[in-house]
């Protein structure tokens, strides 16, 4: 069976349909036949809720819905056929009860092949001890067994499409139209259909993710369904009214997405530029069809996707989706949509026949139909307003989903009457009250970035430990906000305005629009600071706003200094501002290394009794989970050569990070390969282009592997032989060095900055002069030839990382300082 086809299209979250469910309509329909009243749980005990999901292997559309269901019912227990998640932050750390398929051979990668066993497996999950069962189903989750006193509410992403209306397409694309295998597949799908209809009778209330799916539910199960559109994180995308002259499409490259048709269409329009973002099995096929006016970018991090989506003239979408999350995300950026006129897009896009249109449709999945639609769009471009697109997208927000879904469940479960929707922070419904200890310290954390950089990952560890006592303010939306929300923390995103353009290397003092943005951020931050004991600034721009807000709100400010404030890292104007803020409003500084602390003290003459060094803490769990996994399996997953000697670089692509030094070392050392994990994040695209041009010029194409942004750093590090840290200017700390040690890989690092406080040369790592490609090449060659040296470095490095850079030591150190500063302010 074709595993790609067994990944249903309903895994993409579905935007709000055109017909929304009113509060009155959210009340479940009257049952078709009368039934004896259920026993309801005693009022003196909490309602026990189980959430059942099909399978947990990735974070896609269905999992985004699951994430918000968990947010609605944070004390519920989770069940699934299998759980092979690497990143499980969206589940808030909850354990998952799985079926026997979890332990079958090759289940991690071939779980879809066990489709014939899935009905049996889902029926073996024991949820008999719960009052309410909520299933999140695109395959078999709705078939979980429930009793007469239990209420079963099933949120259906789609009935099993490859068993119903897409059976013939599935068989054709799987090459199962004839022969014994075809007969076996048809028999299995017939059995699945019979089982699917029978189990529908055990569902008390169906919820569909669109009117399109509601019609499918009625067709298949002869049951009505309420529509609650899936959550779309529209707040992660910001409105842009200025559009560039290019079209965009973004998707996983699998057959039903029809990216090849879009590329074919633009090949017929050489005067129109198309940008394609995404990766997948069809990548080579799509590249082969690309004309010079089509740019294939491959997989890109969120920041790049958002940037292109905000700037695009229009977003082109050719799939027949049950919903199509990217369609709504594009509109959230103020970008109109050109979409295939079937499925969920009809519920999320307003075409030219409607007031305030947000896009238009084409009728057939053919290249010439797309060409005609693009020409119609060009002729009517002025009819589409970015503000109208944004307003339409806001109908599909996360908040909207939570309110509607929670209201529907509460109306279906009498025992939940009077219970209110948990706050975004995710306080469990059955938590009577917070402990006195959790109220002892209240913190407002401030960070400038929405990107998951090193500073943000370090803050995330603090936030997880203090989640009931901490509120976070960001000046930019993005993956960091998503991670904070998944951690169950209250997050506010404030618009940074012109402040976003300020850079560390700025030479002039800010003025005009920048100052206006600063005033607005200070005022809003000070308002939030009124309800906390201390402001905890995590980055430099956050420190400036925090210092001013602290003065206004009369709250102490602690700056977690994660930079070396020297001319190599900061411009003269920025250093002047840091000196001024240190005198004006900083109560205490936490430095991430002695190098950072020393540079700050030298610049500001700050009282050294108010500077503490707390090394960053890094969670070992992701690395420990992969300890027994063969590197060959990880290399295969990442598309890396199995038998090469791989040297990995892990950081954003920026000149001061020195990836070019590693490439120069590769020229000198032809027996090695370089793996570059990271993407340009802050206007550094030209540097990436320079690296790629160097690779081509030196004939390194077979030996240099650009992996772009990767979430699972632990897996990437475990896949390489050596972790190289090549910064050409002093690193404030060197998080990558510690991560490499936790990954049990020998580390080679630049001899400067905070790295000197981590690496003991020749004992737990090797040091090279910064920027010296010859020395780096020689050191890597020495390491490759000496197995005993590698083993010694790995053993000592792992011991160092565990002893000095554990998360508990880090969190305890930061919390101790925050408490001390808050207590001193209270006394004074």
Give the per-residue pLDDT at 281: 82
Is the model's pLDDT at 17 over the cut of 50? Answer: no
Residue 294 lies in a domain: yes
Give the per-residue pLDDT at 8: 37
Mean pLDDT in residue range 130-155: 95
User: Using CA atoms, how far apart are residues 562 and 458, in angstroms rounded to an integer?
Assistant: 10
Residue 432 lies in a domain: no
Residue 525 lies in a domain: yes
470 strand-pairing partners: 443
Residue 165 gets which letter from DSSP?
T
Are residues 241 and 376 both part of a single domain? yes
Is the model's pLDDT at 485 over the cut of 80? Answer: no
Are residues 609 and 640 both part of a single domain? no
Are residues 211 and 257 both part of a single domain? no
Q: How many of the other CB atoms lie within 10 Å of CB of 241?
A: 10
Is the model's pLDDT at 381 over the cut of 80? Answer: yes
Residue 185 lies in a domain: no
Instruction: Give me the phi and psi of 704, to 5 degrees please.
Output: -120, 125
pTM, whole model, 2 decimals? 0.49
Give the per-residue pLDDT at 211: 86
Are residues 655 and 740 both part of a single domain? yes
724 strand-pairing partners: 649, 748
Total domain count for the chain? Answer: 4
Are residues 511 and 549 both part of a single domain? yes
Give the per-residue pLDDT at 22: 35
User: Using CA atoms, how far apart are residues 78 and 91, in angstroms rounded to an integer?
Assistant: 9
Q: How far is CA 720 from CA 264, 394, 631, 713, 797, in A?
A: 38, 43, 8, 11, 16
Are residues 590 and 508 both part of a single domain? yes
Instruction: Identify the residue whose tokens are 């190289």.
Output: 724
Mean pLDDT in residue range 366-386: 95
| 39 pLDDT tier (thresholds 50, 70, 90) | low
Sheet holding 611-613, edge to edge: 490-493, 470-474, 443-447, 534-537, 557-561, 588-591, 611-613
Mean pLDDT in residue range 558-566: 91
Q: Which of 689, 772, 757, 680 lies closest to 726, judged by CA?
A: 772
Give the per-residue pLDDT at 26: 38
Are residues 609 and 535 both part of a single domain? yes
Give the per-residue pLDDT at 82: 96
Give the per-residue pLDDT at 27: 37
Is the model's pLDDT at 38 over the cut of 70? Answer: no
Is the model's pLDDT at 628 over the cut of 50? Answer: yes
Residue 63 gets which letter from DSSP?
H
* H/E element, 667: helix 659-668
Residue 295 lies in a domain: yes
Question: Where is the domain boundary, 590, 613, 636?
Answer: 613
| 436 pLDDT tier (thresholds 50, 70, 90) | very low
Give the per-residue pLDDT at 40: 60
Over residues 592-618, the pLDDT tens digits come to 988 899 999 999 999 888 999 999 889
Is the model's pLDDT at 433 over the cut of 70? Answer: no
Residue 164 lies in a domain: no
Is the model's pLDDT at 423 over the cut of 80? Answer: no
Are residues 390 and 451 both part of a single domain? no
Residue 218 lies in a domain: yes
Over residues 312-329, the pLDDT tens digits come to 999 999 998 878 889 999
Question: Where is the domain boundary, 613, 648, 675?
Answer: 613
Give the per-residue pLDDT at 428: 43
Instruction: Give me the phi and psi of 766, to 5 degrees please.
Output: -120, 145
Give the per-residue pLDDT at 649: 97
Mean pLDDT across the chain, nearest whole number? 86
Our measurement of the distance from residue 528's CA atom to the centroid of its chain's CA atoms, rounded to an integer in Å, reads: 26
Range of the domain at 604: 444-613
Question: Where is the domain boundary, 613, 632, 649?
Answer: 613
Q: Which of the given ranges, 417-426, 451-460, 660-669, has the highest pLDDT on average? A: 660-669
Higher pLDDT, 568 or 105: 105
Please state which of the ranges 151-160, 259-268, 571-580 shows the lowest mean pLDDT: 571-580
Residue 817 lies in a domain: no
Q: Which of 307, 411, 360, 383 lies closest to 685, judged by CA?
A: 307
Are residues 334 and 469 both part of a single domain? no
Whether residue 223 contacts residue 327, with contact meaning beta carbons closer than 8 Å, is answered with no
* H/E element, 444: strand 443-447
Give the per-residue pLDDT at 511: 52
Residue 765 gets which letter from DSSP?
B
Are residues 202 and 73 both part of a single domain? yes
Are residues 25 and 127 both part of a single domain? yes
Instruction: Identify the residue whose tokens are 């989706």.
Output: 321
* H/E element, 647: strand 645-650
Buried b (16+ CB within 10 A) or exposed e, 48-75: bbbbbbbbbbebebbbbbbbbbbbbbbb
Instruction: Give me the phi and psi of 301, to 5 degrees please.
Output: -70, 165
Sheet holding 645-650, edge to edge: 704-708, 672-677, 645-650, 722-725, 747-750, 766-768
Mean pLDDT in residue range 240-248: 94
Torsion angle, alpha carbons of 580, 586, 592, 596, to 10 = 30
Over residues 688-745, the pLDDT tens digits come to 999 999 999 999 999 999 999 888 899 999 999 999 999 999 888 889 999 999 999 9
User: Using CA atoms, how far apart are residues 520 and 377, in angstroms rounded to an integer?
Assistant: 38
Whether residue 727 contacts residue 658, with contact meaning beta carbons closer than 8 Å, is answered with yes
Are residues 125 and 77 both part of a single domain? yes
CATH number at residue 497: 3.40.50.2000
Please state which of the ranges 174-188, 398-412, 425-439, 571-585 shows the lowest mean pLDDT: 425-439
**Helix, strand, coil in percent for the chain, rounding step 5:** 45, 15, 40
Give the per-residue pLDDT at 25: 36
Is the model's pLDDT at 512 over the cut of 60? Answer: no
């Amino acid at each position: 069976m074709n595993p790609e086809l067994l990944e249903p299209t309903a895994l993409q979250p579905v935007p709000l349909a055109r017909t929304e469910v009113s509060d009155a309509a959210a009340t479940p329909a009257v049952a078709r036949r009368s039934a004896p009243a259920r026993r309801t749980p005693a009022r003196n005990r909490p309602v026990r809720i189980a959430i059942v999901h099909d399978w947990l292997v990735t974070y896609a559309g269905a999992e985004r819905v699951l994430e918000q269901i968990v947010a609605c019912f944070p004390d519920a227990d989770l069940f699934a056929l299998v759980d092979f998640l690497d990143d499980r932050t969206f589940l808030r750390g909850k354990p998952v009860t799985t079926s026997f398929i979890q332990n079958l051979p090759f289940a991690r990668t071939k779980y879809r092949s066990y489709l014939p066993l899935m009905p049996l497996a889902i029926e073996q999950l024991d949820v008999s001890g719960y009052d309410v069962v909520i299933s999140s189903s695109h395959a078999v989750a709705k078939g979980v067994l429930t009793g007469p006193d239990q209420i079963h509410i099933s949120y259906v992403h789609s009935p099993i499409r490859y068993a119903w209306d897409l059976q013939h397409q599935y068989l054709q694309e799987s090459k199962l139209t004839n022969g014994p295998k075809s007969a076996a597949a048809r028999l299995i799908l017939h059995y699945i259909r019979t089982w699917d209809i029978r189990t529908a009778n055990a569902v008390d209330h169906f919820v569909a993710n669109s009117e399109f799916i509601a019609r499918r539910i009625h067709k298949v199960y002869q049951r009505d369904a309420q529509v609650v559109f899936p959550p779309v994180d529209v707040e992660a995308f910001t409105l842009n009214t200025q559009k560039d002259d290019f079209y965009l499409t973004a998707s996983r490259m699998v057959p039903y997405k029809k990216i090849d048709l879009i590329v074919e269409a633009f090949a017929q329009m050489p005067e129109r530029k198309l940008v394609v973002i995404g990766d997948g099995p069809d990548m080579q096929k799509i590249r082969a069809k690309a004309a010079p006016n089509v740019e294939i970018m491959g997989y890109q991090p969120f920041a790049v996707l958002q940037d292109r989506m905000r700037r695009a003239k229009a977003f082109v979408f050719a799939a027949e989706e049950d919903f199509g999350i990217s369609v709504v995300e594009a509109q959230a950026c103020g970008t109109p949509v050109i979409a295939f006129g079937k499925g969920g897009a009809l519920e999320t896009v307003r075409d030219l026949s409607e007031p305030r249109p947000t896009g238009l449709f084409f009728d057939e999945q053919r290249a010439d139909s797309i060409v005609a639609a693009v020409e119609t769009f060009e002729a009517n471009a002025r009819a589409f307003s970015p503000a109208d697109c944004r307003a339409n997208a806001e109908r599909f927000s996360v908040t909207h989903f939570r309110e509607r879904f929670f209201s529907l469940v509460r109306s279906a479960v009498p025992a939940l009457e009077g219970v209110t929707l948990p706050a975004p922070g995710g306080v469990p419904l059955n938590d009577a009250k917070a402990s006195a200890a959790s109220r002892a310290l209240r913190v407002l954390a401030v960070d400038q970035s929405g990107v998951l950089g090193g500073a943000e990952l370090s803050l995330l560890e603090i936030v997880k430990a203090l989640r009931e006592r901490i509120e976070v303010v960001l000046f930019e939306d993005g993956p960091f906000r998503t991670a904070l929300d998944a951690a169950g923390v209250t997050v506010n995103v404030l618009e940074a305005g012109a402040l976003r353009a300020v850079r560390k290397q700025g030479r002039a003092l800010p003025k005009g629009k920048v100052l206006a943005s600063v005033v607005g951020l200070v005022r809003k931050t000070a308002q939030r600071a009124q309800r906390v004991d201390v402001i905890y600034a995590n980055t430099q721009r956050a420190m400036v706003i925090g210092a001013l807000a602290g003065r206004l709100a009369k709250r102490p400010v602690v700056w977690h200094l994660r930079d070396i404030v020297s001319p190599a890292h900061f411009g003269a104007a920025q250093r002047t501002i840091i000196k001024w803020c240190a005198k004006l409003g900083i109560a205490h500084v936490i430095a991430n290394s002695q190098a950072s602390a020393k540079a700050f003290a030298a610049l500001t003459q700050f009282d050294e009794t108010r500077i503490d060094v707390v090394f960053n803490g890094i969670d070992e769990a992701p690395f420990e989970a992969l300890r027994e996994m063969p590197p060959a399996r990880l290399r295969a997953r990442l598309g890396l050569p199995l038998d090469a000697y791989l040297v990995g670089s892990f950081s954003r692509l920026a000149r001061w990070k020195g990836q070019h030094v590693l490439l120069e070392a590769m020229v000198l050392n032809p027996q090695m390969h370089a793996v570059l994990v990271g993407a340009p994040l802050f206007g550094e695209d030209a540097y990436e282009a320079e690296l790629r041009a160097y690779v081509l010029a030196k004939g390194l194409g077979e030996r240099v592997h650009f992996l772009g942004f990767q979430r699972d750093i632990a897996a990437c590090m475990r896949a390489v032989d050596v972790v190289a840290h090549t910064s050409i200017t002093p690193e404030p700390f060197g998080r990558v060095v510690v991560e490499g040690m936790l990954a049990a890989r020998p580390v080679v690092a630049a001899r400067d900055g905070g790295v000197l406080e981590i690496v003991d040369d020749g004992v737990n790592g090797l040091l090279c002069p910064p920027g010296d490609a010859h020395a780096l090449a020689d050191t890597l060659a020495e390491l490759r030839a000496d197995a005993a040296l590698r083993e010694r470095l790995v053993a000592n490095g792992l011991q160092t990382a565990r002893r000095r850079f554990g998360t508990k030591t880090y969190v305890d150190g930061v919390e101790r300082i925050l408490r001390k500063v808050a207590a001193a302010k209270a006394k004074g």
